[in-house]
Structure 1
Amino acid sequence: MDSKTNQPTSSDWVVRSALPSGVERIEAWFAGHGYDPHRHDTYSIGRTLAGVQSFNYKGSLCHGVPGNTLVLHPDELHDGMAGTNAGFRYRMAYVDPALIQNILGGQPLPFISGGLSNDPRLYRASEAFVQALDHPLEMLEEQDALYDLAMALHAVAGKPPGRKRLDYRAAERARAFIMEHLHSSITLEMLEQASGRERWSLSRDFRALYGTSPYRFVTLRRLDYFRSLALNGFTLVDASLAAGFHDQSHMTRHFTRSYGVSPLRWLARLRPAC
């Protein structure tokens, strides 16, 4: 990033895997500043390939280097930058917490303290998702890898502090309702009726099980749809409206908070997919 113009350097790039998968995978290189503070509702599971990948997370400046595993919890604020003048290269997989819950079956999402781990169990379990992007993941391979990842996260995080019992089935009914009515105006009252769970208890359980609030979940799913439309040639205005935002500026505010860059900068960094 050029500090005077606040624009990405010509050498900054991001490649998204175009292979069929339920997990978004990228590889990227940045000369300096990568992302402003932002938060998204997926696990960010990554590996630094070269250089030092620095980021602010939970009140500390962390440094990812080759050999350790980055594990950023859903909806936790973080940024990204080079820790040295040499820049940094990394791969990242964005794992939907619902995929982890399919395996854990209603336990609170595992939290890895500090956002970095040297535990060999996590290193091995994340290998399938941070290998070269041109390596296709067969469906059974991906499902096995998700199981291994969920088990490793659970083991390394340890048992969370005491918490009231969570109603996983009600939260999952609410999540399914959201996915079916994504382009409608959704309220907590509607989710209460769909789930059969009192609204505030549902909201609490939803956060614990899926890592974010129902409202943020809706917003991020609309941003997912916006990104798919923008990548397929829709204008930002048309993609914003089709994804359920009031206008382009409404979408841009949410996009920047969720990804740390503006939609235009995000598109400019992308290289052709594998």
Structure 2
Amino acid sequence: MAITKTSLLIALLKLAGKLPLRLAQRIGMALGWLGWVCRTESRRVTEINLAMCLPELSDQERQALGRTSLQQTGATLMEIPLMWEWPVERCLSLITEIEGEHLLADAQANGEGLILLAPHLGNWELAGLYFSSRYQMAALYSPPHLPEFEDYMIQVRGRLGSELVRGDRRGLARMTALLRQGGIAGILPDQSPRGQGRAMAPFFGIEVRTMTLVSKLMQKTGARALLTYAERLPDGRGFRLVIRDVEAGLADADPVVATTALNRSIEQSVRRVPEQYQWEYKRLRHRPSGEVNPYRPHKVC
């Protein structure tokens, strides 16, 4: 059988999935450190984001945070094969603490649908696995660039029965129906949306394009929203699963009010563990018309 990019990638993921947690994290952190010292594009974007979002820090503090952030992102990338290839029970055993579990219990006791907002903070794959192991859940996803890889991704992410739905009309209809039945929908809320369903709202004080999907789902279904992430503990000691309430106004009919509440909810969690946020993502690239693109200063939005 011919070796394709997809088959090679899956083989590498399966191989990496045999690593113990601590070794996988150390390899990932070493790769992140290398990305920093080699002045990669990831480092350049991280430095821009930190300068714009955390101007209160000194240059030395931002440099230290940026270096640690790339190391933490490297750890996340090396943990993904474990989350996809390890037995589910072994993955879940890595969660040694749960903060805010009463919020989840309250929402479920009232029979409400629940929207779980999982930003690119900590290990979002483990957070999704935890909730799909306990509840009927659908998670929004973007198809990978390698179409043949999609089947593998759906298989490993959905091995506990969680549905993965695309962000198209059919997928959103399924997510709406599940929420009305009291189920759970998982969304990565800190992406820069394309097409319709967006508004400009401040993120760390900077106006950026923000999704209105969360507020629309809340308005249509009466669902509640909570924010969650799996915080990495030091020295391979596992993870703390954090569940937090969101800012008031997230379900507001005014899209600016709603998206402002969404971004503020994410920002508050990021400020708790800024080193574990994916700062190398170009979150600030879609600004109000006429503003300079911070990653391409010769271009305007």
Same fold (TM over 0.5): no
- Report the structure, 1 or 2, having the larger helix content: 2
TM norm structure 2 = 0.26
TM norm structure 1 = 0.28
